[in-house]
Structure 1
């Protein structure tokens, strides 16, 4: 009969130590990888300086009230071929004819530098970007102007 056939191996302190160290090594490694991914895809910054933003808060609220008083409606941004298209209507529901529009296109997680986009009014208040918009998801910071009135809106486009 073989010597090993009836023997049971003992669980020693050495085995427990190896298991505990291995467990924590896996946990720490996964945490480090996840933290690396989180920091490389989102900076965590909503505003660069929260104190300055808090000082401008009331001014922003007043601008929002003024914009609302214009009665303008800005449609969601849609992609037509490789261009962005947005419709702006006045309080009567008709498209704004003599308005101008410009925008700043930003990648939502900052993978590329922001760039400006010009828009042409192609009729009935529909504005189409002159420059092509690269594929992917973009945040458009839009400024619509008509005479002395101005409206700022943000629209996402995919």
Structure 2
């Protein structure tokens, strides 16, 4: 007759070492991963100097109220590989523009920002063009579009909006 002597499982110093090494390996691995992702994504920089920006805020707000009082509305279209922009007054009458610049800003990645200068339609006299355009297809996703339209005012008409691009067209 044979007897099997079964030795109970014991938690030894070797097991404790494995647990501690594994724990710290996971913590260090997660920290390195998060630091790498943070370094390669958005910088978090909104303005170069927050004090100067805070001092300019009231002046910018005053300009925004004056612009809103004009009652002008900008019309932006993105489709078929083209970006179009026009401006109408409070009565819906198209306003003549001298030039239009657009900045497509990605909300999270500054590296993907794209600045465009729109052109007047061919054969139209400068200052009388109603709609400016450029051939461009932004990547699909969410964009903050900053538009500066020269409509003959002391400062450009500023139009900022958040848009969604899907399949090369604005939704």
What TM-score results when the alignment is normalised by the length of structure 1?
0.77
Matched with 2:133 is 129
Q: How far is the alpha carbon of 1:152 from its aligned partner?
A: 0.9
* Cα distance change, pair 114–132 in 1 and its aligned pair in 2 (3 A): closer
Cα distance in 2 between the residues matched to 1:74 and 1:140: 12
Cα distance in 2 between the residues matched to 1:58 and 1:87: 28
Q: How far is the alpha carbon of 1:121 from its aligned partner?
A: 6.4
Cα distance in 1 between the residues matched to 2:23 and 2:130: 59
2:102·2:148 contact (CA, 8 Å) conserved in 1?
A: yes
SS at match of 2:8: coil
Matched with 2:88 is 89
Q: How far is the alpha carbon of 1:119 from its aligned partner?
A: 4.2
SS at match of 1:88: strand
Superposed CA RMSD: 2.8
Matched with 2:97 is 99
What are the superposed Cα offsets for residues 21-69 of structure 1, whole Å, 9 maximum, x if unpaired?
Answer: 2122112211221221122110111111111111211111111111111
2:84·2:134 contact (CA, 8 Å) conserved in 1?
A: no
Q: How far is the alpha carbon of 1:11 from its aligned partner?
A: 0.3
Q: How far is the alpha carbon of 1:81 from its aligned partner?
A: 1.0
Matched length: 153
1:85·1:126 contact (CA, 8 Å) conserved in 2?
A: no
